[in-house]
Amino acid sequence: MGSLAIFGGAPVRSRFLPYAKQSIDEDDCKAVTDTLMSDFLTTGPAVQRFEKALSEAVGAKYAVAFSNGTAALHAACHAAGLGHGDEGITSPITFAASANCMLYVGAKPVFADIDEETFNIDPCEIEKNMTSRTKVIIPVDYTGQAVDMDTINALAKANRITVIEDAAHSLGTKYKGRPVGSLADMTEFSFHAVKTVTAGEGGAITTDDERLYKALSLFRTHGIVQSQKEGPWFYEQMELGYNYRITDIQCALGISQLAKLKEFAVRRNQIKKIYNDAFSNMDGLILQKNAPFSQTISHLYMLKLDLPQLKADRKTIFEALRAENIGVHVHYIPVYFHPYYQKLGYKRGLCPKAEALYEALITVPFFPAMSDTDAHDVVTGFEKVIGHYLK
């Protein structure tokens, strides 16, 4: 197959293939420009239309849209009543926001280890880490695969714990036939540029609980409510909230994108099949197992290097793939490895399975706008590089 590009050989691709990229078409552009010329740039009719479209898509009673997914998680922690002295449990293999949101309200994130095969948080590890202070569980549908929600909900119910599902990766995924967004007390979605559906930036919480819905809405807008008490100008700030509003411009894009969720999902599944077929037959690689209860729409495609079979570590293989113009990435560094968390006193060794996974993880380019040829280039790149480094 020729020598590796990192040693001066010809790369598999002449152009760099990124790990993710948004799919924006003419309809999306028109939706945004129409909004720019309308009466409302923010907090107008598009916000409600977006919330309605999202709540219908995921089978939830309410949706509250926020400026981003992190703000939505912060609001959910607040609405759950999480605060000083409380603890919340999440996965270490996630974006830092899943844990940061607990720190925002003064609570302590507790990391529960993952399942080695599905890479998702292990409900047995959640149970082991529960204390009398545990007030929320924030399970993450890592890569888009649903966590075992029946088991997690049962643990939570028995202990008066609120479940906030971090579904930033799993819009469109179903759990035992039920859509993610209708399973937990609250479910958080993100509409960041690389996510399955984008609004540029954006986030939302879906819930069936009217009390939570009201608390989330209040938190989004400074804690302010409209009131006619002293006249038409009057409003009152009832608590300390934030400006976590989303704009009509973003929501117009979000609505237009959400209408294409099924189309995006079909394309993601097609690319996933090309990868699964190729990678499952390649020595040196281990695929993420899909649990039977999750009908997954993947946001990320991960490979785990079978390091004992290889002569090189992840960094060497990663750099060799990049040299072939295959835009691999790594999702994620265990959250408590970050210097800020180390300063808070979290020690390496806390979640051995997550740490071992991190050493072997590679994110493969995966997005609906890539062609079959792009996907086959990725496969060729892995054949070349992994073939070179196999023992």
Ligand X SMILES: *Cc1c(COP(=O)(O)O)cnc(C)c1O
Is 192 near ligand X (CB under 6 A)?
yes
Q: Figure out which of the listed residues 35, 55, 70, 198 binds ligand X, where binding follows CB under 6 A.
A: 70
For residue 215, count CB atoms less than 10 angstroms from its CB and return exposed for 0-12, middle for 13-18, buried for 19 or more.
buried
Q: Figure out which of the listed residues 98, 118, 206, 294 binds ligand X, where binding follows CB under 6 A.
A: 98
Stretch touching ligand X by CB under 6 A, among 66-74, 113-121, 153-161, 303-311: 66-74
Stretch touching ligand X by CB under 6 A, among 48-56, 94-102, 126-134, 212-220: 94-102
Q: Answer yes or no: are the C-beta atoms of 109 and 88 closer than 8 Å.
A: yes
Stretch touching ligand X by CB under 6 A, among 17-25, 149-157, 162-170, 345-353: 162-170
Q: By C-alpha distance, which of 35, 52, 56 is closest to 44? A: 35
The set of residues, in sequence order, having a beta carbon less than 8 Å from that of 165 and lying 6+ positions away, is 138, 139, 141, 147, 149, 180, 183, 184, 186, 187, 188
3-state secondary structure of 316: helix
- If the CB atoms of residues 171 and 323 are measured against ligand X, the closer one turns out to be 171
Q: How far apart are CA 320 and CA 310, in angstroms?
A: 14
Q: Figure out which of the listed residues 137, 140, 255, 351 binds ligand X, where binding follows CB under 6 A.
A: 140
**Could you tell me how many residues of this chain bind ligand X (CB under 6 A)?**
14
Is 166 near ligand X (CB under 6 A)?
yes
Q: What are phi and psi of 131, to 5 degrees?
A: -130, 180
CA–centroid distance for 357 within its chain = 18
Q: Figure out which of the listed residues 11, 69, 241, 381 binds ligand X, where binding follows CB under 6 A.
A: 69
**Closest approach of ligand X to the CB of residue 194, in Å:** 8
Beta bridge partners of 175: 178, 294
Is 203 near ligand X (CB under 6 A)?
yes
- If the CB atoms of residues 13 and 67 are measured against ligand X, the closer one turns out to be 67
Three-point CA angle 58, 76, 122, nearest 5°: 75
Stretch touching ligand X by CB under 6 A, among 63-71, 143-151, 313-321, 345-353: 63-71
Is 249 near ligand X (CB under 6 A)?
no
**Closest approach of ligand X to the CB of residue 169, in Å:** 6
Minimal CB distance to ligand X: which residue?
69
The set of residues, in sequence order, having a beta carbon less than 8 Å from that of 322 and lying 6+ positions away, is 328
Three-point CA angle 136, 216, 46, nearest 5°: 135
Q: Figure out which of the listed residues 82, 137, 168, 317 binds ligand X, where binding follows CB under 6 A.
A: 168
The set of residues, in sequence order, having a beta carbon less than 8 Å from that of 288 and lying 6+ positions away, is 117, 118, 119, 143, 145, 302, 303, 304
Stretch touching ligand X by CB under 6 A, among 16-24, 64-72, 179-187, 210-218: 64-72
Is 143 near ligand X (CB under 6 A)?
no
Tokens of 219: 């938190």
Q: Figure out which of the listed residues 12, 17, 97, 252 binds ligand X, where binding follows CB under 6 A.
A: 97
Is 164 near ligand X (CB under 6 A)?
no
Q: Answer yes or no: are the C-beta atoms of 294 and 151 closer than 8 Å.
A: no
Contacts with ligand X by CB under 6 A lie at 68-70, 94-95, 97-98, 140, 166, 168-169, 190, 192, 203
